[in-house]
């Protein structure tokens, strides 16, 4: 059976969960699975814009994705209300099931959780609220293997947000993992490093002291200058030799295109290099962002017309999915 066909078979609690084995994700039958998919924008944003619907999920599957990422922003979940937001995500998970898509649940904040200082008001949260979110997710989806990956905190950074050592951040992540595992021992927890979730160099000497975890990097093109590969290997790629790595945000747009900003400005050359590097290393990814407004955009409108990067990633994903 091909990987694509295995992923397109709906998963249920009766036939098991995705697991971590060594440096790989494996499906319920024990086969290695490489996640290649799309970052959705915030569910609340999509609900309010009339785009949180089965069509959105069907299009993601048609692009060749086998996983999608729900970017849950603290400000938005509080604005719409927790129960209404979770009911919307319940519907989304059912649509994901229908279309053979796994789900990453992402607590989408940027900043320093230890100091509770953030880069923008939309990311404002507290340690107590973060633990509450993950308790809620773990309890609500403890029997839902489609929600395969729990991304603890989108982009940790200490740039302008106060002090936090790697050791302190590691302990805080371990505490969140322990909370999740109290309710859902099957959850695979995704752990990010500093520099807006780019830098995984501390893992060499001080990995997160929990089993069943994977690591996250966001290697946007301007994080390092070309040639990229040697720097990627030093900064995050080496981790994939020992643990699963999933780059939950990659993406680019041309200079002068709508939404162009540091660190995402590049060309298809970046797309070609990053995907070849991931293939070499067995690294999973989700491309940002399957939205017509949040840059770098994969679509230019809600007819799902691909942007420059959208054309590249759609063709790449479909080639890997056998379409």
Write down the pLDDT at residue 16.
87
Kindly indicate the confidence band of residue 322, based on its pLDDT and cuts at 50, 70 and 90.
Answer: confident
| pLDDT tens digits, one per residue of 105-138 | 999 999 999 999 999 999 999 999 999 999 999 9
Class of domain 3-321: alpha beta
pLDDT of residue 192: 98
pLDDT digits (tens, 9 = 90+) for 246-303: 999 999 999 999 999 999 999 999 999 999 999 999 999 999 999 999 999 999 999 9
Q: What is the pLDDT of residues 69-112, one digit of tens each?
A: 999 999 999 999 999 999 999 999 999 999 999 999 999 999 99
pLDDT at 12 over 60: no
Q: What's the rounded Cα separation, in Å, for the pair 145 and 127?
A: 26
If pLDDT is split at 50, 70 and 90, which confidence band does 323 have?
Answer: low
pLDDT at 5 over 90: no
Name the average pLDDT for the chain. Answer: 95
Domain boundaries, the chain: 3-321
Question: Is 60 exceeded by the pLDDT of residue 221?
Answer: yes
- Cα distance between residue 236 and residue 222, in whole Å: 15
Which of 6-20, 54-68, 141-155, 164-178 bottoms out in mean pLDDT, i.e. has the lowest?
Answer: 6-20
């Amino acid at each position: 059976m091909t990987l694509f066909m295995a992923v397109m078979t709906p998963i249920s609690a009766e036939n098991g969960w995705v697991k971590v084995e060594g440096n790989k994700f494996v499906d319920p039958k024990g086969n290695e699975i490489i996640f290649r998919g799309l970052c959705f924008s915030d569910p609340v944003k999509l609900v309010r814009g009339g785009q949180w619907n089965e069509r959105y999920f069907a299009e993601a599957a048609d692009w060749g994705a086998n996983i999608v990422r729900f970017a849950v922003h603290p400000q938005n979940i509080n604005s719409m209300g927790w129960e209404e937001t979770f009911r919307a995500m319940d519907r989304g998970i059912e649509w994901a099931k229908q279309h053979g898509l796994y789900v990453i649940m992402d607590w989408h904040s940027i900043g320093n959780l230890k100091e509770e200082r953030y880069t923008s008001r939309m990311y404002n949260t507290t340690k107590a609220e973060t633990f509450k979110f993950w308790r809620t997710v773990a309890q609500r989806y403890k029997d839902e293997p489609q929600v395969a990956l729990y991304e603890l905190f989108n982009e940790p950074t200490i740039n302008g947000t106060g002090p936090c050592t790697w050791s302190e951040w590691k302990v805080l992540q371990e505490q969140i993992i322990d909370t999740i595992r109290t309710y859902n021992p099957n959850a695979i927890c995704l752990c990010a490093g500093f520099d807006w979730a780019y830098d995984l160099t501390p893992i060499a000497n001080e990995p997160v002291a929990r089993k069943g975890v994977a690591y996250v990097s966001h290697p946007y093109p301007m994080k390092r200058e070309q040639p990229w590969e040697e720097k990627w290997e030093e900064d995050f790629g080496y981790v994939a030799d020992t643990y699963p790595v999933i780059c939950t945000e990659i993406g680019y747009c041309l200079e002068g295109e709508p939404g162009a900003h540091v660190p995402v400005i590049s060309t298809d050359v970046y797309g070609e290099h990053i995907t070849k590097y991931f293939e070499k290393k067995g690294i999973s990814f989700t491309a940002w962002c399957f939205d017509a407004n949040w840059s770098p955009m994969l679509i230019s409108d809600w007819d799902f017309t691909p942007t420059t990067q959208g054309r590249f990633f759609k063709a790449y994903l479909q080639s890997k999915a056998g379409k």
